[in-house]
Amino acid sequence: MPRKEIREAAQLDIVGKWIDRPSKLPVGEHTPGPWRVSEKCDAVVADHATGHDDAQSIHDYGGHLVCESSTKRNIRLIAAAPQLFNACNAALDAFGEGQNEAEREAVERIRQAIYRALVIPF
């Protein structure tokens, strides 16, 4: 089966199971939010351990490093990722499968975003 078809089949299977039980959506293995833009440099930091947790790094970055060396125009979006992820899950709870074509399209776009965040490897 071509890679695109495998990915689409996996997406339908995995995302469909999540949508059937929206309260049990996996949260992934990311650093818990909130994330924020560091006040010390162009980095995204958290209050939770990330693996960059030595005292010097925490001091230098102003928190536990999530992401560094991002452009200024992307850094706020990256910092908002956990909140956006939670908002997507809440929207799925509210929309269900969608009552009309516009809502069904929105639900599908949200499913695609969640799938991309949790399933598609780098």
User: Following DSSP, what letter does each residue of the chain receive, concatenated?
Assistant: --HHHHHHHHHHHHHHHHHHSGGG---TTSPPS-EEE-SSSSEEEESS--S--SHHHHHHHTSEEEEES--HHHHHHHHTHHHHHHHHHHHHHHHTT-SSHHHHHHHHHHHHHHHHHHTS--
pLDDT at 78: 92
pLDDT at 35: 94
How do residues 25-64 score in pLDDT, each as one tens digit?
A: 444 567 888 999 999 988 999 999 988 788 999 999 999 9
Residue 118's beta-bridge partner residues? none
pLDDT at 122: 54
The pTM of the full predicted model, rounded to 2 decimals, is 0.67
Is 111's pLDDT higher than 80?
A: yes
